Structure 1
Amino acid sequence: MIEEIELFEGSLVTVEAFSFRQRKNRNRHGGREMFIPVVDKLAAALTPLDRSKGGTVLKNAYGNPFSEKSLTGMMQHWTRQAGISDGYTLHGLRRTFGTYLAECNIQARAIMEAMGHSSMAVTDEYVREANKKRIAVDIARAINQREEKRDQMKQRTNLRIVR
């Protein structure tokens, strides 16, 4: 779907996006309206597909959208075809997306909205994990810098006093 969006600065921009109602709660009712702009890499991956009529991108052999259950089964089939070990699921891709957003330093509230979470509890997990990684990397950098300075000090020639 192509939509014209007004940005915060007041300018209009044309954006390709997916728009749908998320149905993720146990009773499968309600859900949140989701608007997901297509990023450049996704647009490039979608280029070979015929999207002239809009609608669903992933379709079964009959040209119909996958049901949730059949898409889950196909994900398992595709991972096996690709030689990927069992255990990689659609929900795992969703969690990877949340982790990726947190590692990109996206604000927690924005991650919550992008993921369709109704509270910050799950979103905070992604942010905490990303922060743990950042802290570990910062520690490793500090150690490397400290050791580099120590090595440079050792390489200096000793001063000799000549009388």
Structure 2
Amino acid sequence: MEWDDLVFEEIELFDGALEVIEAFDFRQKKTATITAGARCLLAPLDRSKGGTVLKNAYGHPFAEKSLTGMMAHWHKQAGIPEGYTLHGLRRTFGTYLAECNIQARAIIEAMGHSSMTVTDEYVREANKKRMAVDIARAINEREAKRDAMKQRAALRVVK
């Protein structure tokens, strides 16, 4: 990621309103919108010289392998269990979008996918979770109704 890749885009929201977002436009055509948390982290960094945003201790851009190694080091420092990867974070983001019921086309754009294959996987998994929640909710509602029926007082015939 380089500071020159930081762009401001005006987008139209679903309700028709326009909003300007700040995002990194990657060479692989994968656009990463900057979240409020990331914006706070990037704010104090010097943008005047341009160049790479995330640099190693020598001031050079991270190689993919060294960034993966640093991710493991950062996890250890933060007390996060081993096994979390950059790719895992990316998959989590795709899954989160699908679970938020974002349209598949929007997920493709956000993730930079070239086809629906991986996006379909996210959507299928989110739909499975939704169905499981709906089933559990229906069962709980039925059980609650049945319990309520049992708690009613028995009818007595009074003469």
* TM-score where L is the length of structure 2: 0.82
Alignment of structure 1 residues 41-56 onto 2, 5 Å:
41-47=37-43, 49-53=44-48, 55-56=51-52
Q: Is the 8 A contact 2:31 2:111 kept in 1?
A: no
Unaligned 5+ runs, structure 1: 23-32
Identity %: 68
* Cα separation, partners in 2 of 1:55 and 1:18, compared to 1, 3 Å: farther
Displacement of 1:6 in angstroms is 5.4
Displacement of 1:20 in angstroms is 1.5
Aligned equivalent of 2:22 = 16
Displacement of 1:13 in angstroms is 4.2
Q: Is the 8 A contact 2:7 2:25 kept in 1?
A: no
Aligned equivalent of 2:98 = 102
Unaligned 5+ runs, structure 2: 1-5
Could you tell me which amino acid in structure 1 is paired with residue 24 of structure 2?
Answer: F
- Between stretches 113-122 and 137-146, larger displacement belongs to 113-122
* TM-score where L is the length of structure 1: 0.80
Aligned equivalent of 1:116 = 112
Alignment of structure 1 residues 64-75 onto 2, 5 Å:
64-75=60-71
1:38 matched to 2:34: yes
CA distance in 2, matches of 1:82, 1:6: 35
1:5 matched to 2:10: yes
1:137 matched to 2:133: yes
Displacement of 1:108 in angstroms is 1.1
* Cα separation, partners in 2 of 1:10 and 1:128, compared to 1, 3 Å: closer
Displacement of 1:100 in angstroms is 0.6
Q: Is the 8 A contact 2:22 2:33 kept in 1?
A: yes
Q: Which has the higher contact order (CA 8 A, sep 6+)?
A: 2
CA distance in 2, matches of 1:10, 1:134: 28
SS in 2 for 1:65: coil
> For each residue in 1:94-124, what CA deviation from the matched residue of structure 2 results, as whole angstroms up to 9, or x when unmatched?
1111101100101112111211111111111
Could you tell me which amino acid in structure 2 is paired with residue 50 of structure 1?
Answer: L
* Cα RMSD, aligned residues only: 2.4
Q: Tell me the matched-pair count.
A: 152
Displacement of 1:154 in angstroms is 1.0
Could you tell me which amino acid in structure 1 is paired with residue 45 of structure 2?
Answer: D
CA distance in 2, matches of 1:65, 1:111: 28
Could you tell me which amino acid in structure 1 is paired with residue 12 of structure 2?
Answer: L
> Which one of the candidate residues 69, 72, 76 is aligned to 2:72?
76
SS in 1 for 2:21: strand
